[in-house]
Structure 1
Amino acid sequence: MAGICPQCGIAYSKWKKSPVSAQERSPPSEPENFSIEPLEPLSKRVLYRLLEVPDTVDSMAFWGRVALFIAFFIWGWSFILGGIDWRSIGGSFLHNANLPFHEFGHVLFRPLGRFMTILGGSLFQVMMPLGLMLAFILQRRDTFAASIMLWWSGQNFIDVSPYIADAPYRALPLIMGMGEDAHDWGNLLAMTGSLHRAGLYAGLSFGTGVVLMLLSFCWGGYLLYRQHRNLNRL
């Protein structure tokens, strides 16, 4: 019989695939209400993270932050109004707190050569608080603490400024046992032939510190304002 195997009796037509219609071959259509929402711009996401505050704020913690802000505000203005004065900057206990980070910077950058070894002290001194600032933002999500770290970086820029200004004279007292040859900025500016620009570089360092401190005041103050609004919801 046509279409049937004479030996086994199986109909060939049962083993043929049925033709697929054009509708079945077409890919499944997307749901009518399906849409892909675009991501927010990076600048907006960064701003949101910088201004993030807890949904609920403990009263004691809030007023503790307010007291801390006032203390750093007054302390910061004492550095700003004092100018590039070694007696007021170097006489602060914060100078001695910054010193170990300065010295560690020399060790950290030693593999990069003599120039970076010398520069590494001041470089690490001003960058280390910025690293802590990022850690508070990204890991702890504590933006107010991050604003204090920005203040500290600004203070370190101010702390370095009289050291730069002293480069042509090498008159500042250094760590015990170190002579004039160990003067970081005296060596750096001599190596680059720019000792005559010591005053300019010192002013840039001091000005950068002032700007960072002012930014920290604005940032921290606005964060406290936002926290106070959440405090009223308790």
Structure 2
Amino acid sequence: MADTLAILKDFVIPAGGVIFGSIVGWLGSSRSTSRAIDAQDARDKNAEMAEICAILQAIRDEIQTLVEVHMEGGGGDIKAASGNEPIAMFYPISDHYFTTFETNASRIGKVSDAAIRRQIIRTYVLFKALVDTIRLNNHFTGKLESAEAAHRNCAPDELEARERECALHWQQMAAYAPGLKASNDRAMDASAALISAIDGWLKRDGV
């Protein structure tokens, strides 16, 4: 019996202490590792949220600027036109209006709000459609002005033919005017809806 107690005292009890200490140490280390992982996850989520906020803010600012510049220029004339006669104007148009959207297109999928993602795509599609519509109206305007110049300078025996040509171009542009106005309205309405949606999201969920 004494030998058994000696063995317990000399070997088993110290070994048990070592094992217990190892378990306590492992649990402490595990908790520290878990806290570190949680802290890193939180930092990653905050960084991703900050990136999403920056993307949405940049898109909002681009659309706001596009609307202001457009409406101060040819867009205001399109909106004010009656739609019953040609919108005869040259509106200089570029291929590089949507730099923020094009730069961040691959990252829009990070926006968790599906409604905002759809509205971003819808707004840019409608804006690009408006650009194409304006370009075609520019083409029609050029044709009409060329026909009118030819009519002013034609020989008497060409007068009737030139008048018919002018009338045809005029009718073509008059028929196109409602579509141009509708395209302008759709793009402006979509832009206003997008700006409102982003403002609401930034106020609600932004960092």
Q: Per the shorter chain, which TM-score range?
A: 0.3 to 0.5
| Structure in which a larger fraction of residues adopt helix | 2
- In our comparison, the structure showing a higher alpha carbon Rg is 2
TM-score by length of 2: 0.42
